[in-house]
Amino acid sequence: MTTFHASKFPVLIIGGTGKTGRRVAERLTAQGVPVRIGSRSASPAFDWENPESWATALEGVSAAYITYYPDLAVPGSADAIGNLARLAVRKGVTRLVLLSGRGEPEAQRAEQALRASGADWTIVRASWFMQNFSENMLLGPILAGEMALPVSSVREPFIHADDIADVVIAALTDDRHVGQLYEVTGPRMLTFAEATGEIAKASGRTIDYRTITPEEFMHGLEQEQVPADIAALVNELFTVVLDGRNEYLTDGVQKALGRKPRDFADYARETAATGIWEGAK
């Protein structure tokens, strides 16, 4: 085992207010491990668009969890990951854990850049988060009672963000995970319509699902005033990455943690109990 638990040096969590970063920060804090949140609003600040901020954020940390904003699918992300990883290694921060995405060519280039940096790396390559339905832009359609996406019969093995966080914690605190790539998915595949149906059942709501064209989807994003670059990214994820290339299950959670991943039905039931989906019935 490493000595991070006894270390006075913090773990840098880049994207520490995001879906997985927040969970990782909470878990490390509960274990008595100091954390440093890497975000533009933190002090010291970390900004992917301002490389001059990276060195200060890395100063005196023991390890780093890296999530890239807005997504590793964005062109140029691999260069940024490579530059950050090499800087971290030069500053003596060798334990680096990267959150990656399945089926994204640019994400795979970012993984290669991390491997080539000389770091003690671990890669967590994740499927679509279940929490995209409750902590993301898909929450709005759920509350409105209608989910309209440019996806029909393609199935996705949605992964619980808590499972990702647990794998990341293991990678940050246990030497056995160095040099491992964990491709993590949930235990079964669902279409977006089926996932919407499970949420409707758990929440006692009527939530319709319909398939729309990519053009209709982009128009809807424009109407919601989603920034053009983010809209283009989301559209690519739905129309390119969700083309069937990820229609298979993996055992990454089992390999890393020795247990099965959480099921979507459990996520839907537990999330419904929080009241987050209590829209107009």
Is the model's pLDDT at 11 over the cut of 50?
Answer: yes
pLDDT in tens, 30-54: 999 999 999 999 999 999 999 999 9
Distance CA 46, CA 2 (A): 26
Residue reference for tokens 């209608």: 146
Within a domain: 117: yes
Within a domain: 147: no
Within a domain: 229: no
pTM value is 0.95
Q: Which of 4-18, 77-91, 223-237 has the lowest mean pLDDT?
A: 4-18
Distance CA 97, CA 88 (A): 12
Handedness of CA 14, 23, 190, 217 (dihedral sign): negative
Mean pLDDT across the stretch 204-215?
Answer: 96
Q: How many domains does the chain contain in total?
A: 1
Confidence tier at 148 by pLDDT (50, 70, 90):
very high
Mean pLDDT across the stretch 110-123?
Answer: 98
CATH code where residue 36 lies? 3.40.50.720
Give the per-residue pLDDT at 7.
60
Give Cα 231 distance to the centre of its chain. 18
Within a domain: 138: no
Domain containing 18 equals: 4-130+158-187+246-262
